[in-house]
Structure 1
Amino acid sequence: MSLKDPNAVSTDHPKRVAIVLSNPAISTTTNWPVGFWWSELTHPFFALTEKGYEVEVFSPEGGKCEADVMSSPHDPSDYSSSDLISAGFMAMPKLMSLVENTRKVSEIDVSRFDAIVVAGGQAPMFTFERAFDLHAKFVEFYEAGKIAAALCHGVAVLRYAKLSNGDYLAKDRTLTGFANAEEDYADNAVWSMSLLPRGTHIMPWRIGDEMKKIGANYVQAGLWRGFAIRDGNLITGQQNFSGSETTEVLIRALGE
C-alpha cells in the first residue's frame, strides 16, 4: 500500500519553484520604506535548494527588491540577529544578484514550475492591490493543480486573487497568515518606542479580518508560533517565523 500523498504533484523533471518578492514601497500609514522579509525568501530558498529543487526569484515589477530593515541579521535592532541562514545568503554575491535582478511575475511560464511561493514583509500590504499579474499567475498555478503558497503578509495576494468563475480563490479554503494578535503586538511595540503616535496602525488592514470577509476559514496557532497549513493545493504560512514550516508542507505536497 502506498503512503504517498494522493494529492502530491508528480513530475519527471527536477522540481522548480518560483518565489515572488514584493517590490519596495513607502508605507501609507507610517511613511517608512517597506519591502520583503529576508527569512521568507532565504529559509524557503535554502530548504528547497537543499532538496535539489531549482528556484527562481520574481517580483511584480521586476528589478531590484529591498528588504524590511529589521529582517536583516545585520540591523542594529538585533531583531533578526540570530538568522544565520539570511546572513549566509546575504554574504554570497551570486545569491544577492537574485534579489537585485528579479524578473517580472508576468514572465513566469507556469508550465515550467511546480509551485509558486509568495513571500511576505510589509510591502505586500501596500503594493499587492495593483499587482494584477501576480493575482493572475497565482490563480493560474492554483487552477492548473499546482501548488500556490503564500507566507505571512504575502497572503495579501488572496484578498485580490479570483478564480475563473469570479469567486475568490480563498473562499471556503482553510488558511492562515499574519494574525491580529501579532499586528497588535507590533503596533504596541512601535507605540512604546514612540516611533508612531499611539493609535496609529502599522498595517492598513489585517489578513485575518479580510480573509474572513471573503469567506475563508482563517486559523492561526498563536503569537509568533511557526505554523503552516495546506488545503488542497493552497499552502499558507502564518508569519516570518513560519518559513521552514511552510516549506516542509510544500515539499511534502510535491511528493518528497
Structure 2
Amino acid sequence: MSLKNVNSVNPNHKKRVAIVISNPAVSVTTGWPVGFWWSELTHSYYELTEVGYSVEVFSPEGGKCEPDAMSDPRDPSGYSASDLISMGFIATSNLVSMIDCTCSVDEIDVAQFDAIVVAGGQAPMFTFEKATALHDKFVQFYEMGKIASALCHGTAILRYAKLSNGEYLAKGKTVTGFANVEEDFADKAVWEMNLLPRDQHLMPWRIEDELKNIGANYVQAGLWKGFAVRDGNLITGQQNFSGAETAKAVIEALGR
C-alpha cells in the first residue's frame, strides 16, 4: 500500500503529539475498576516535552480519566513507588488537570498533529473494541504518513484498526505489546494473593496472541524489559516500562 503524504511532517515547526489515554471502566473478568497506566502517559510526556514537543492528552470519550491503582506511586501496594516521573506529574496541578478534563479523540485534527501515542493500562482491553472514533483517527495518522504509536495494552487498538482497503493495519508489520509471559506473571501474582481463583485470568484476551492472529510479526524483549519497535511509521512499545523507549522512537522518527 502506498501511504498518502509520506513527507507531510514539516521539520521546521514545533512537533505536536496527541497522547490518548483510556476512559475508566470496570473489568468484566474481575469486576475491578480499571483505567490508564500512569507511567505510560507520564514517561512518554516527559521525553516528548523535554525535546520541545507540544503534547495534548485525549481519551476516546473525553472527560475525567482514572488510573489503574497500582500505577500510582502513592498506592499502598508500593508497586510503582519508585516512579518519580509519575509522582512529579501527579504533584503538578497544571499537568494533572489535563487528566481531569480530557478532550475526546473526535476533536483531534489529524492535519495539525505529527503523531498519536495510545497509552495502555487495563481499560483498553475492555473498551477499545467500541472506540471506533479512535480506530479511525489511528488509521488516519498512519495513512497520512504520520507516526501512529501504541504501547502496552494500548496496542489493543491494533486488534481493531483497519486500513481503508479493509486490511488490518498491523498485518505484516513487526510489532510488540504486552507479552504472554507478562500476562502469565500478572495472573500468577493475583492468584498467589488469593485475589482471583486460579482458573480466572486478569485479561479477557491476550495482545501477543491476537497480534499474531491478524498476521503481525510479534516480537518482545523479555519479561518487563523496556522495549519499542518501529516498522515504517508504526511504533509500538511492549509494556508499562516502555513509555520512554516508545517516546524516544517517536522522537527519532520525527526529529527535534
TM-score range, shorter chain: over 0.9
In the alignment, does 2:141 pair up with 1:141?
yes
SS at match of 1:247: helix
In the alignment, does 2:80 pair up with 1:80?
yes
Deviation at 1:166, TM superposition (A): 0.2
The answer on whether the counterparts of 1:42 and 1:86 sit within 8 Å (CA) in structure 2 is yes
What RMSD over aligned residues (CA atoms) do the two structures have, in Å? Answer: 1.2
In the alignment, does 2:21 pair up with 1:25?
no
Match of 2:108 in 1: 108
Q: Provide the rounded CA distance (Å) in 1 between the counterparts of 2:61 and 2:145.
A: 25
Match of 2:126 in 1: 126
Q: Provide the rounded CA distance (Å) in 2 between the counterparts of 1:10 and 1:168.
A: 28
> Residue by residue, what CA displacement relative to the aligned partner does 1:12-40 show, whole Å, maximum 9, x if unpaired?
21000000000000000000000000000
In the alignment, does 2:206 pair up with 1:206?
yes
Say which is worse superposed, 6-15 or 47-56, in terms of deviation.
6-15
Corresponding letter in the other structure for 1:209: D
- TM-score calculated relative to the size of structure 2: 0.96
Match of 2:53 in 1: 53
The answer on whether the counterparts of 1:9 and 1:255 sit within 8 Å (CA) in structure 2 is no
The answer on whether the counterparts of 1:8 and 1:255 sit within 8 Å (CA) in structure 2 is no
Q: Provide the rounded CA distance (Å) in 2 between the counterparts of 1:224 and 1:138.
A: 26
Corresponding letter in the other structure for 2:204: P
Deviation at 1:9, TM superposition (A): 4.1
In the alignment, does 2:165 pair up with 1:165?
yes
Question: For this pair of structures, how many residues does the alignment match?
Answer: 251
SS at match of 1:17: strand
Q: 1:7 to 1:173 in 2, by over 3 A?
A: farther
Corresponding letter in the other structure for 1:196: L
> Residue by residue, what CA displacement relative to the aligned partner does 1:49-72 show, whole Å, maximum 9, x if unpaired?
111110000000000000000000
Q: Provide the rounded CA distance (Å) in 2 between the counterparts of 1:95 and 1:119.
A: 16
Q: Provide the rounded CA distance (Å) in 1 between the counterparts of 2:234 and 2:32.
A: 32
Corresponding letter in the other structure for 2:89: F
Deviation at 1:7, TM superposition (A): 7.9
The answer on whether the counterparts of 1:168 and 1:214 sit within 8 Å (CA) in structure 2 is yes
> Residue by residue, what CA displacement relative to the aligned partner does 1:76-122 show, whole Å, maximum 9, x if unpaired?
00000000000000001111110010000011000110000000000
> Residue by residue, what CA displacement relative to the aligned partner does 1:204-239 show, whole Å, maximum 9, x if unpaired?
000010001100000001000000000000000000
The answer on whether the counterparts of 2:8 and 2:146 sit within 8 Å (CA) in structure 1 is no
Match of 1:35 in 2: 35
Corresponding letter in the other structure for 1:33: P
Q: Provide the rounded CA distance (Å) in 2 between the counterparts of 1:9 and 1:204.
A: 38
Match of 2:251 in 1: 251
Q: Which runs of 5+ in 1 are unaligned?
A: 1-5
Match of 1:3 in 2: none
> Residue by residue, what CA displacement relative to the aligned partner does 1:146-204 show, whole Å, maximum 9, x if unpaired?
00000100000000000000000000000000000000000000000000011110000
Q: Provide the rounded CA distance (Å) in 2 between the counterparts of 1:48 and 1:219.
A: 25
Deviation at 1:10, TM superposition (A): 3.8
Q: Provide the rounded CA distance (Å) in 2 between the counterparts of 1:78 and 1:174.
A: 34
Match of 1:156 in 2: 156
Corresponding letter in the other structure for 1:126: F
Q: Which runs of 5+ in 2 are unaligned?
A: 1-5
The answer on whether the counterparts of 2:11 and 2:255 sit within 8 Å (CA) in structure 1 is no
Match of 2:3 in 1: none
Corresponding letter in the other structure for 1:229: V
Corresponding letter in the other structure for 1:140: Q
Q: Provide the rounded CA distance (Å) in 1 between the counterparts of 2:7 and 2:234.
A: 11
Match of 2:189 in 1: 189
- TM-score calculated relative to the size of structure 1: 0.96
